[in-house]
Structure 1
Amino acid sequence: MALSVAITVVGGTLAACGAGDADTGADGKVELSIGTFTEFGYEDLLVEYQRLHPDITIKHNKTGQGGPYHQQLFTKLGANRGLEDVVAVEEGHLSDVLAKSRLFNDLAEIGPKDVTADRWLDWKYKAGTDKNGALIGYGTDVGPLAMCYRKDLFEAAGLPSDPEAVKPLFATWESYFAAGDQYVAGTGKAWFDSDAQIFNAMHNQLPTGFFTTADSLDIESNRDIRANWDAVTAAGARGQSAKLTAFSNEWNSGFKSAAFATKTCPAWMLGVIKGQAGPENAGKWAVTAAFPGGGGNWGGSYLTVPKQSAHPREAAELAAWLTAPEQQVKAFVKTGNFPSQVEALSAPELITATDAYFGGVESGKLFAEQAGKVAEPQYKGPGDGRIQETVTTPALQAVEQGTSPAEGWQRVVDGAKKIAG
């Protein structure tokens, strides 16, 4: 699911003190390592790359959870040893990597010269560059946002349920919360899963995150952040939130038990819904090409080459090949990770992809349309992702459990200041 994966490749570039201490094997082959987390869909691709490059061998270090993976990444960065030649970075942690861009190679300098910015969606490419314009990461997948909803629950509440007919409900956040009030009034049940999930989606649509472009904490002076906080907590207080912690057991079972009627839905969320709601709910869930505020992105990763690598050019060649449109389409077919490459978005394998669970929707075409709605990448300062994960989300959970929105907001301000230093 478009969550980052760390990859270590043993082939053309080996971290000098990286995932293994050998630069070249006894057989004379260049040994590369690649580090990834969750599912990138690279297992078959790495085998193919070694077949095409018999002078390269690759070791793939794959971690199940993105959180521990990124903690280890920054520990190894600080120690200047232990990183793979190719390292995956999830977009939520990218700002911390860009703040340490001096420790990574500029892929525009060491990578293949035919790999240019026009390979990627403009916003995806820009997000992988540092303030000096150095390209720190080749984009892998993205998580363009649409809205998923339960058709049967909408019908029971007197709301339209056809994917085209529901689009006006999801046109703006105001219309979304207004429809939520109608749903709660008609059913007495929750409209969305949690305050935090909605707040994060709203927040990520702002031009800047919790920091200014000068990396000054902006949480108190940025009125849009507080306005989003007030809107979400007010909707939750009116009964719209199911008060579930994302990816918890209760949240997982909520898809099956109809604990909420709508879900912010990046492309990879379709797989989550199918897995958690189960076959008995096939056809009840639907997805529509609409999202409040126009569009957004949740998830996706980049492949980087740390300066620890002893074979940076070979590592960059591997990362470039893995992020080529052809390979990203293969990864999409295997795992559903949605490509960020322009050519891949019009590939027949993607455009013709349908999903019977969601009523036969042309899911590939739908999310390609949503990807095109994302504008400039949000500027995130160092610590931005940590504030969202460890400060705003717990504070919103506290509000759902009875803390006043004002007190919860003060927790956010205080916690953000500690992280910003």
Structure 2
Amino acid sequence: MKKWFLLVVLLGLMLFVVACSDDSSSSDSDGNAGNNSDGETNTDNGGSGDSDSGGDPVELDFWVFGNAGYDVLAEEYKKDNPNVTININEGEMADQHNNLFTSISGGSGAPDIAMVEVSEIAKFMEASDQFYNLNDYGAADVGGNFLEWKWQQAQSVDGSFQIGLPTDIGPTTMFYRTDVMEEAGLPTDRDELAAELDTWDAYYEAAKTIKDATDKPIADAPKLVFNALRDQEEQQYFDEEGNLIIDNVKEAYDYTTKMIGEGLIGQNSLWTPEWGSAMADGSYATMPGAPGWMVGNVKGNAPDASGLWDIASIPEGAGNWGGSFLTVPAESEHPQEAYDFIAWLTAPEQQLKAFHEKGLFPSAPDVYENEEFLATTDEYFNGAPTAAIFAEAAKSVTPVYMGVNYSIVDTELDTAITNVAVEGADPQDEWDAAVERIETQLERQ
């Protein structure tokens, strides 16, 4: 009996030890699951992103251009995803695109996430094998969040490949200086001014009035005037078969160069220090063809001009200037984490924040119905209801096919206009020379 009793006791002790060991392992496993592998906790598609908040550290290099304010949003994302660090590299748009193209061509040096502007997206789409197909990571599930035409700009013809998620669009308006308008005897109220400058002929007449009264040009950057007219065309540089149809914008070119010749437009090039200083000085009257993302540029260049700038509708209807996409180059070792971040960054909630912070107009139409969005005013722009103004402009936008070689044409026409403005060159000679350069470059493609 003693032997049987001791055996029972011994077995009981062994079972107790095993049970304690199993319980300890189970407890440790449950604890780790709460931080690392609990699907419901860490893969929620809600506002905090999809990345595993307790996983291994991940660093994502993110190339951006312009004044997007994504650094602030990246820090917000990191609060809910502490293992994910977003390293933002900011640069000039042309430089970032050139560096990206060089990197993917050479097979090294590309970031995890790259911002690509709409005029460049077709070129990179031709190198789609150098990018992850975002449909493989969930993009097809969020396509309905965006304007259909915007979504399709970064999609293959058959819809099977999605190279990028849309950020903003650029419905155009007219920014103007109330002090210059008042000095010229023109309306300062945005609705009254829009009614008076409802055509480009009326804009030309106003330019002469402003010049006579103030000795200031109606606009300081010739490219802005040309862009505003060009972006109202249903076709610009290429048709959908890739044929050059540059004569479509000859009228816009002639209008711009005529005003240059009469001293009604200044000679500053976009993005130069002189261009920025002129915003602060009030040395011109209007900025036509200005999209929502230009709000941040004006505020940054003219911080002390609050209340002197206002926004009205542009003559003869809005066009669209700009807007971008977020892509994931194939070199990235963290495509899922990169996708999770850009899906969060381009969601309607974050697009609303980007609009409030930097004026980036949302490509997610759900935002247009948001009461907070529609009630948005901007004291810097004299209390203008900026959201409502840009939303109204967006309704009249007609998407335009841009083509792979859009930047070639645009750069050469910009050179021609600049030569007319700065060097006093003959407009027709410059046009002919630009067309010749364009055709030569296109033959090499």
Aligned length: 387
1:392 to 381, 401, 413: 413
3-state SS, counterpart of residue 351 of structure 2: helix
1:235 lines up with 2:259 in the alignment:
yes
3-state SS, counterpart of residue 123 of structure 1: helix
Residues 193 and 244 in structure 1, CA contact (< 8 A), matched pair in contact too: yes
Describe how 1:250-329 pairs up with structure 2 within 5 A: 250-264=274-288, 265-279=290-304, 281-288=305-312, 290-329=313-352
Residues 28-78 of structure 1 show CA distances to partners (whole Å, capped at 9, x for unaligned) of 455544332344333343344445456x53342312322221111000111
Question: Taking structure 1 as reference, are residues 132 and 217 closer, same or farther at Cα in structure 2, changes over 3 Å only?
Answer: farther
What letter is aligned with 1:391?
E
What letter is aligned with 2:285?
A
Residues 38 and 62 in structure 1, CA contact (< 8 A), matched pair in contact too: no
Residues 329 and 349 in structure 1, CA contact (< 8 A), matched pair in contact too: no
Question: Taking structure 1 as reference, are residues 370 and 302 closer, same or farther at Cα in structure 2, changes over 3 Å only?
Answer: same
Q: Whole-Å Cα distance in 2 between the matches of residues 239 and 111 of structure 1?
A: 54
1:42 lines up with 2:66 in the alignment:
no
What letter is aligned with 2:405?
G
What corresponds to 1:215 in structure 2? 242
Residues 123 and 374 in structure 1, CA contact (< 8 A), matched pair in contact too: no
Q: Whole-Å Cα distance in 2 between the matches of residues 234 and 383 of structure 1?
A: 27
Residues 230-249 of structure 1 show CA distances to partners (whole Å, capped at 9, x for unaligned) of 11111222221111122222
What corresponds to 2:403 in structure 1? 381
Describe how 1:2-41 pairs up with structure 2 within 5 A: 28-29=56-57, 32-41=60-69
Q: Whole-Å Cα distance in 1 between the matches of residues 71 and 278 of structure 2?
A: 32
Q: Whole-Å Cα distance in 2 between the matches of residues 197 and 330 of structure 1?
A: 27
Which structure is larger by alpha-carbon Rg, 1 or 2?
2
Q: Whole-Å Cα distance in 1 between the matches of residues 306 and 69 of structure 2?
A: 25
Deviation (angstroms), 1:140 = 0.9
What letter is aligned with 1:95?
A
Residues 198-235 of structure 1 show CA distances to partners (whole Å, capped at 9, x for unaligned) of 1122223323332221223332xxx3211211111112
What letter is aligned with 1:270?
V
What corresponds to 1:21 in structure 2? none
What corresponds to 2:114 in structure 1? 87
Residues 387 and 419 in structure 1, CA contact (< 8 A), matched pair in contact too: no
Deviation (angstroms), 1:384 = 0.9
Residues 128-163 of structure 1 show CA distances to partners (whole Å, capped at 9, x for unaligned) of 224443332211122221111122322332322211
1:354 lines up with 2:372 in the alignment:
no
3-state SS, counterpart of residue 425 of structure 2: coil
1:114 to 141, 146, 150: 141
Residues 317-371 of structure 1 show CA distances to partners (whole Å, capped at 9, x for unaligned) of 3221211111222333343333221122333443232222222112222222222
Q: Whole-Å Cα distance in 2 between the matches of residues 92 and 112 of structure 1?
A: 21
Deviation (angstroms), 1:408 = 0.9
Residues 172 and 294 in structure 1, CA contact (< 8 A), matched pair in contact too: no
What corresponds to 1:150 in structure 2? 177
Question: Taking structure 1 as reference, are residues 310 and 196 closer, same or farther at Cα in structure 2, changes over 3 Å only?
Answer: same
1:167 to 175, 194, 197: 194
| More deviation, 30-39/315-324 | 30-39
Deviation (angstroms), 1:396 = 0.5
3-state SS, counterpart of residue 155 of structure 2: coil
3-state SS, counterpart of residue 166 of structure 2: strand
Residues 59 and 87 in structure 2, CA contact (< 8 A), matched pair in contact too: no
What corresponds to 2:268 in structure 1? 244
Residues 111 and 313 in structure 1, CA contact (< 8 A), matched pair in contact too: no
Question: Taking structure 1 as reference, are residues 352 and 395 closer, same or farther at Cα in structure 2, changes over 3 Å only?
Answer: same
Q: Whole-Å Cα distance in 2 between the matches of residues 327 and 379 of structure 1?
A: 28
3-state SS, counterpart of residue 297 of structure 1: coil
Q: Whole-Å Cα distance in 2 between the matches of residues 171 and 99 of structure 1?
A: 40
What letter is aligned with 2:297?
V
What corresponds to 2:434 in structure 1? 412
| TM-score where L is the length of structure 2 | 0.79
What letter is aligned with 1:410?
D
Q: Whole-Å Cα distance in 2 between the matches of residues 249 and 309 of structure 1?
A: 36
Gaps of 5+ in 2: 1-51
Q: Whole-Å Cα distance in 2 between the matches of residues 250 and 34 of structure 1?
A: 29
Gaps of 5+ in 1: 1-23
| More deviation, 42-51/352-361 | 42-51
What letter is aligned with 2:299?
K
Residues 236 and 248 in structure 2, CA contact (< 8 A), matched pair in contact too: no
Q: Whole-Å Cα distance in 1 between the matches of residues 369 and 65 of structure 2?
A: 27
What corresponds to 2:15 in structure 1? none
1:61 lines up with 2:83 in the alignment:
no
What corresponds to 2:11 in structure 1? none
What letter is aligned with 1:218?
I
Question: Taking structure 1 as reference, are residues 67 and 166 closer, same or farther at Cα in structure 2, changes over 3 Å only?
Answer: same
3-state SS, counterpart of residue 168 of structure 1: helix
Q: Whole-Å Cα distance in 2 between the matches of residues 158 and 46 of structure 1?
A: 46
What corresponds to 2:41 in structure 1? none
Deviation (angstroms), 1:92 = 3.1
Residues 132 and 328 in structure 2, CA contact (< 8 A), matched pair in contact too: yes
| TM-score where L is the length of structure 1 | 0.83
3-state SS, counterpart of residue 164 of structure 1: helix
3-state SS, counterpart of residue 199 of structure 1: helix
Q: Flag as ranges the 4+ runs of structure 1 deviating above 6 A.
A: none
Q: Whole-Å Cα distance in 2 between the matches of residues 397 and 188 of structure 1?
A: 21
Indicate the percent of aligned positions where both proteins have the same amino acid.
Answer: 33
Describe how 1:180-219 pairs up with structure 2 within 5 A: 180-219=207-246
Question: Taking structure 1 as reference, are residues 43 and 349 closer, same or farther at Cα in structure 2, changes over 3 Å only?
Answer: farther
Deviation (angstroms), 1:374 = 1.4
1:128 lines up with 2:144 in the alignment:
no
1:176 to 196, 203, 216: 203
Higher RCO structure, 1 or 2 (CA under 8 Å, sep 6+): 1
Question: Taking structure 1 as reference, are residues 257 and 46 closer, same or farther at Cα in structure 2, changes over 3 Å only?
Answer: closer
